[in-house]
Chains A and B, each alone.
Chain A
Amino acid sequence: MTETAIEFVNVLKRYGSAVAVDKMSFSIAKGELVTFLGPSGCGKTTSLRLIAGLELPTEGQVKIAGRDVSRDPASERNVGMVFQSYALFPHMSVLDNVSYGPTIRGVPKAEARDRARAILDQVGLAGYEARLPSELSGGQQQRVAVARAIVQQPDVLLFDEPLSNVDAKLRRKVRAEIRELQQRFGLTAVYVTHDQEEALAVSDRIVVMKMGQIAQIGTPAELYEQPASSFVADFIGDANLIEGKVSSGTFHAAHLALPVRAADGIVTATIRPERIRLAKGGIATIRSASYLGSRMEYVVQDENLEFLVSRPISEPRLTAGDSVDLQIDPADLVLVR
């Protein structure tokens, strides 16, 4: 994982006066699957298109396999891309769709078809070669799109929200397939999504983006456990953001007073809902209790602060109006500024 597959060096992309990608720099190692995650308008799709060559940077460099491709059009880069809408050619059969790329790049027609058949076999679509895309199910179309993208062994495989057109039940299965394929072929992949759960599930590393800038880069665990900002904490999973004050090694907010290692001043503390424990009888009150099947979710009010608390279903259930005590392990608290 030391060889660099993709590198952004101070990449800036401007549309008129609007900045979509603001001086981004990062690198992606070979064989890695990296996800761009962020709310809509954060620049994640633009970043992906900058790698593909469907957009060219206003400033800075995009490097693929060590080569500066900043001015190369998409057709002269070796990338594969799976589109949100799959973008299968409706007038071509599945086989023609998959053999399109090799044919364009000068592979003889017969060989291109052999290769396409092989890939289709790998994604489990053998026997569907002669069909038109409109005669396939959504999941099958998705697999054709993936097959088409990997058939020419691209330097990088790009996914633009590939699961947004797949119904919720299939998603888990399809994303596992994608991950499996990517690892089997040893491909470098970049994946764009706005769904944090999806991002956590498939990624080696995640780039969290906000307004064209990188909020944080890290493995899923790092992002979840050590968010660098309240934005990241809030965006990845659920988080309670507590505004408070640190004075002489103690964090104060409402009735809370927790020992922390931080300098004095105003800070925001974040804590995951499942890290808060509740005990009956206390000064906080349960405002609402929701039964979610696998767990209970409570909204707890403590003075002017509201906490979201998530407890396993096995614990004794509480109901709205109960008085509770909030129990927080200071080690679970992450302070951000």
Chain B
Amino acid sequence: MPRSGRCRSNRQRIPVGRFSLTSDRAGLAWLGLLAAALGLVPWYKGNNLFAGPAASALTEALAGRGWLWPMIAVTSALSIAALTRGWQRSNLALGLTLGAFALLIWQGFAVGLRGPSADWVGSAFPRAADGQTGLGWGGFLAGIALTGLLSDLFAARGFCRGERFPAFCITAIVALLTLFVFFPILRLGIAAFVDPTGALALGTFWARISAPDLWGVACFAGAGRCGVVVNTVVLGVLSASFATALGLALALLVNRTDFRMKRALRAISILPIITPPFVVGVAIILLFGRTGLVTSFVADLMDVRPTRWIYGLPGILIAQVLAFAPVTFLVLLSTLEAINPTLEEASRTLGARSMTTFRKITWPLLRPGLAAAFLLAFIESLADFGNPIVLGGGYEVLSVKIFFAVVGARYDLGNAATLAMILLALTLIAFWLQMRWMGKKSYVTVTGKSDAGLTAPLPPILKIAVFAVVLPWVLFTLAVYIIIAAGGFVTDIGRWDLTPTLSHLVTAFRFEIAENGLQLYGSAWDSMITTLWVAGLAAPLTTLVGILTAWLVARQDFAGRRAFEFGTMLSFAVPGTVVGVSYVAAFNVPPVDITGTAAILIICFVFRNMPVGMRAGLAALAQIDKSMEEASQTMGAGGATTLRRVVLPLIRPAVFTALVYSFVTAMTAVSAVIFLVSARHNMATAYIMGRVEAGEYALAIAYSAVLMIVMIGCVALIQLAVGTRRLGRRQELQGRPAADPAE
């Protein structure tokens, strides 16, 4: 009893009133930040954050930029409203906040770089004729403050069960998605419909979209060329079919045979993920080009003239199948693992022979997985840029055509936008089909249910077929990677001059240790360093946003959750080329003017790769009992604390996956990056592309090899930093699912 007395005295530590005070404080803090953003921090870009109030929105407005006044006025009204009790639940506060948000956006678009965007703005504010530059610290802070304020008001109305942290995360992520995914695409869509002067040009759009060089099917008749859209779809279908077949063979080999070197097979299948673009294409040229190793050998053997058969559809197809087979393999492996062996056992006990069992039981169960793998590879093929540009020859596909519409001799953003819209539409159709096929299945990892029986071994004929498919693939992969490993260290692999040399490495990475410290002279240092730190910054941010989004989708119940989930997935579906063009179209002009900065690269990576972190997070969260987080909440932890102290430690593997994936992708991405690199911020892949373009294959290969080694080193570093879950057996994790809230 004396103990309980002591506890009672401690009870005063949890005063009831404190909580409501915190609620008020959060709102006031956002309001304070908003006031600071408007009154103390430079509003326009190009000024240091600490430049002081001399360049703030308030000062600028006083100096004649009158279009800033409405925003300032509404903010002042909001501050007055905040003096009343319970203001966070009043409609007035919500209305004023939304109004301030709208006016913030309006002021950005009302006046462009060179002057007002509408006549009435010009006549109302004479200084608008001078134009305005992009938003600076002040503008961005105001945006953040308004987002925070808005989420606080939502939370006060019971959004997210009144939890401010998830409410803020949702509001912020929606705002970011809008700004960095939907706005650029919208801007690009507009570019497809208007001419350079800004007038609506439906005729031009129609002419572009109905052009015969898009939709022609003459090649099927044996004469003439096919349209680029037809080419793209044909390539996608073929590539996805072969990749799915190869993936299936690999999955069957690993799951249904006693093949010994399964681990090695898995390792090989991971290689394409960390391989920089272009080098595989280069290796294929070195093998199968007209003077390629294999081509010359076969030509000598059969005494025929070597041809350039590899350029065009065959070459792209080979490269893509090589690149996408690991993806289809993983999808099909998990499908195979999920098939309950008792079904196959039942079939066999009923007297069916193994081939019949495979045909009647296993195959139908595999079909959804096959469809999903096919569509995934199809989407990847649509988005692929690196392989077609190296191996395409005369075979044009959309992604390359978009690239040359922007960077070709005839710069035509309108045409690029139109093509991008077509590519986007194709991707979204495939993506939609894929979502329908896979549904929610892709999120839930397979649990150890399948140990209930023995899986059926493959029928002998199938086993032979599987080996016949996999063996050439293994040989081919090895050949490609031997070339990548060796090509950078011989004089000229293009002409098969195999004298060993380090000169390419020296050209790329020469450095001297002089009196004044380390001097980097190699031509690749700039891009290598930029790539490393851009990827190094993007990876944790991507993981943060991805895992956070997964947590919001899996654990928070809020209006519009489905749309939210779909929106995040959409950013993944948009092909890189389209993202690149849309970023150029959207962020080269005020109000959000960030082209040429490292920020645009990082932002691009974060929103393109975030869905992968999200998927990893969703899969991990599905295995963790929700009540642990609820327990944390009832013990007084807010969303952020719960996430940090309870959720994150439990989903470390997902964090690791997300970090590694986003890091590696940022290092090897090319299609979007090509449009976004600048003199100050060049990326490794863009540099490699330049070397391939200039025919300096050896330099490209040497750089790629170094890049791969660096990537492996960084992954090891991430492993060291994040570590793995140090937990023994734990039934809680896979324990019973959370109780149905309707109960």
B162-A115 in contact (CB<8A) = no
20 A-B pairs in the complex with CB atoms less than 8 angstroms apart: A20-B742, A53-B162, A56-B161, A72-B19, A72-B162, A74-B161, A74-B630, A75-B638, A84-B627, A85-B732, A87-B627, A87-B631, A91-B726, A100-B632, A105-B636, A107-B10, A115-B10, A132-B727, A134-B728, A134-B731
A87-B625 in contact (CB<8A) = yes
Q: How far is the CB of A89 from the nearest CB of chain B, in Å?
A: 6
A87-B630 in contact (CB<8A) = yes
**Which residues of A (1-51) have their CB < 8 Å from a CB of B?**
15, 18, 20, 40-46, 49
- List residues of chain B with CB within 8 A of the CB of A148: 631, 635
Q: How far is the CB of A14 from the nearest CB of chain B, in Å?
A: 10
A76-B632 in contact (CB<8A) = no
- List residues of chain A with CB within 8 A of the CB of B6: 118
**Which residues of B (636-654) have their CB < 8 Å from a CB of A?**
636-639, 641, 645-646, 649-650
Q: Do A83 and B627 contact each other (CB < 8 Å), given the known contacts A55-B161, A90-B730, A153-B10?
A: yes
A104-B630 in contact (CB<8A) = no
Q: How far is the CB of A190 from the nearest CB of chain B, in Å?
A: 12
Interchain CA distance A56-B158 in the complex, whole Å:
7
Chain A residue with Cβ nearest B6 = A118
Residue of A42, A78, A122, A132 touching B3 (CB-CB under 8 A):
A122
A67-B627 in contact (CB<8A) = no
Scoring A residues 111 to 135 as 1 if CB is less than 8 Å from chain B, else 0, what string do you get?
0000100100010000000001111
- List residues of chain B with CB within 8 A of the CB of A80: 634-635
Q: Do A134 and B627 contact each other (CB < 8 Å), given the known contacts A80-B634, A85-B735, A85-B736?
A: no
Chain B residue with Cβ nearest A101 = B635
Interchain CA distance A85-B726 in the complex, whole Å:
21
**Which residues of B (579-605) have their CB < 8 Å from a CB of A?**
none
Q: How far is the CB of B4 from the nearest CB of chain A, in Å?
A: 6
- List residues of chain A with CB within 8 A of the CB of B743: 40-46
B8-A81 in contact (CB<8A) = no
Scoring A residues 302 to 313 as 1 if CB is less than 8 Å from chain B, else 0, what string do you get?
000000000000
Chain B residue with Cβ nearest A42 = B743
Interchain CA distance A138-B3 in the complex, whole Å:
27
A73-B163 in contact (CB<8A) = yes
Q: How far is the CB of B646 from the nearest CB of chain A, in Å?
A: 6
Asked if B14 is at the interface (CB within 8 A of a chain A CB), the reply is yes
A75-B631 in contact (CB<8A) = no
A88-B732 in contact (CB<8A) = yes
- List residues of chain B with CB within 8 A of the CB of A83: 627, 630-631
- List residues of chain A with CB within 8 A of the CB of B8: 153
B7-A115 in contact (CB<8A) = yes
B contact residues vs A (CB 8 Å cutoff): 3-4, 6-8, 10-11, 13-14, 16, 19-20, 22-23, 89, 155-158, 160-164, 625, 627-628, 630-639, 641, 645-646, 649-650, 725-733, 735-736, 739, 741-743
A71-B16 in contact (CB<8A) = no
- List residues of chain B with CB within 8 A of the CB of A49: 741
B633-A160 in contact (CB<8A) = no
- List residues of chain A with CB within 8 A of the CB of B156: 71
**Which residues of A (187-244) have their CB < 8 Å from a CB of B?**
none
B627-A56 in contact (CB<8A) = no
A89-B628 in contact (CB<8A) = yes
- List residues of chain A with CB within 8 A of the CB of B164: 73
A46-B162 in contact (CB<8A) = no
Interchain CA distance A77-B730 in the complex, whole Å:
30
A90-B636 in contact (CB<8A) = no
- List residues of chain A with CB within 8 A of the CB of B741: 15, 20, 45-46, 49, 55
- List residues of chain A with CB within 8 A of the CB of B641: 104
Asked if A79 is at the interface (CB within 8 A of a chain B CB), the reply is yes
Q: How far is the CB of A220 from the nearest CB of chain B, in Å?
A: 23
Asked if A86 is at the interface (CB within 8 A of a chain B CB), the reply is yes
Chain A residue with Cβ nearest B166 = A73
Asked if A65 is at the interface (CB within 8 A of a chain B CB), the reply is yes
Residue of A41, A54, A118, A149 touching B161 (CB-CB under 8 A):
A54
Residue of B638, B641, B650, B743 with most chain A CB atoms under a 10 A cut-off: B743
Interchain CA distance A183-B559 in the complex, whole Å:
42
Q: List 17 other contacts, CB 8 Å, given A73-B160, A87-B627.
A: A42-B743, A46-B741, A52-B634, A53-B161, A73-B161, A73-B162, A74-B161, A75-B636, A75-B638, A87-B631, A90-B650, A91-B649, A100-B645, A104-B641, A115-B10, A148-B631, A152-B636
Which 5 interchain pairs have the tightest Cβ spacing? A101-B635, A76-B19, A87-B627, A73-B162, A74-B633
Residue of B13, B20, B650, B733 with most chain A CB atoms under a 10 A cut-off: B13
Chain B residue with Cβ nearest A111 = B10
Chain B residue with Cβ nearest A39 = B743
B627-A185 in contact (CB<8A) = no
Q: Do A73 and B742 contact each other (CB < 8 Å), given the known contacts A78-B16, A87-B625?
A: no
Interchain CA distance A9-B634 in the complex, whole Å:
22
B650-A54 in contact (CB<8A) = no
B732-A100 in contact (CB<8A) = no
Q: Do A91 and B727 contact each other (CB < 8 Å), given the known contacts A73-B163, A104-B641?
A: yes
Residue of A20, A104, A107, A115 with most chain B CB atoms under a 10 A cut-off: A104
- List residues of chain A with CB within 8 A of the CB of B649: 91
- List residues of chain B with CB within 8 A of the CB of A173: none
- List residues of chain A with CB within 8 A of the CB of B646: 89
B727-A134 in contact (CB<8A) = yes
Chain B residue with Cβ nearest A96 = B645
Q: How far is the CB of B239 from the nearest CB of chain A, in Å?
A: 43
A53-B625 in contact (CB<8A) = no
Q: How far is the CB of A326 from the nearest CB of chain B, in Å?
A: 39
Chain A residue with Cβ nearest B167 = A73
Q: How far is the CB of B24 from the nearest CB of chain A, in Å?
A: 12
Chain A residue with Cβ nearest B652 = A91
Interchain CA distance A288-B741 in the complex, whole Å:
41
Interchain CA distance A134-B739 in the complex, whole Å:
21
- List residues of chain B with CB within 8 A of the CB of A87: 625, 627-628, 630-631, 732
B7-A153 in contact (CB<8A) = yes
Q: How far is the CB of A110 from the nearest CB of chain B, in Å?
A: 14
B633-A54 in contact (CB<8A) = yes
Chain B residue with Cβ nearest A38 = B743
A152-B628 in contact (CB<8A) = no
Interchain CA distance A109-B22 in the complex, whole Å:
22
Asked if A316 is at the interface (CB within 8 A of a chain B CB), the reply is no
A104-B634 in contact (CB<8A) = no
Q: Do A134 and B730 contact each other (CB < 8 Å), given the known contacts A71-B156, A152-B14, A160-B739?
A: yes
B742-A18 in contact (CB<8A) = yes
Interchain CA distance A43-B725 in the complex, whole Å:
37
B11-A153 in contact (CB<8A) = yes
Interchain CA distance A153-B637 in the complex, whole Å:
16
Q: How far is the CB of A329 from the nearest CB of chain B, in Å?
A: 39
- List residues of chain B with CB within 8 A of the CB of A122: 3
Chain B residue with Cβ nearest A194 = B743
Residue of B628, B639, B742 with most chain A CB atoms under a 10 A cut-off: B742
- List residues of chain B with CB within 8 A of the CB of A134: 727-732
Interchain CA distance A216-B22 in the complex, whole Å:
39
Chain A residue with Cβ nearest B738 = A85
- List residues of chain B with CB within 8 A of the CB of A76: 19-20, 22-23, 162, 636
Residue of B13, B22, B727, B735 touching A107 (CB-CB under 8 A):
B13
- List residues of chain A with CB within 8 A of the CB of B636: 75-76, 78, 101, 104-105, 152
Interchain CA distance A312-B630 in the complex, whole Å:
47
Interchain CA distance A53-B634 in the complex, whole Å:
8
Interchain CA distance A89-B637 in the complex, whole Å:
14
Q: How far is the CB of A16 from the nearest CB of chain B, in Å?
A: 10
Interchain CA distance A74-B725 in the complex, whole Å:
28
Interchain CA distance A71-B650 in the complex, whole Å:
30
Interchain CA distance A107-B636 in the complex, whole Å:
12
- List residues of chain B with CB within 8 A of the CB of A101: 635-636
B634-A90 in contact (CB<8A) = no
- List residues of chain A with CB within 8 A of the CB of B732: 85-88, 90, 133-134
- List residues of chain A with CB within 8 A of the CB of B163: 73-75
Interchain CA distance A41-B743 in the complex, whole Å:
4
Asked if A293 is at the interface (CB within 8 A of a chain B CB), the reply is no
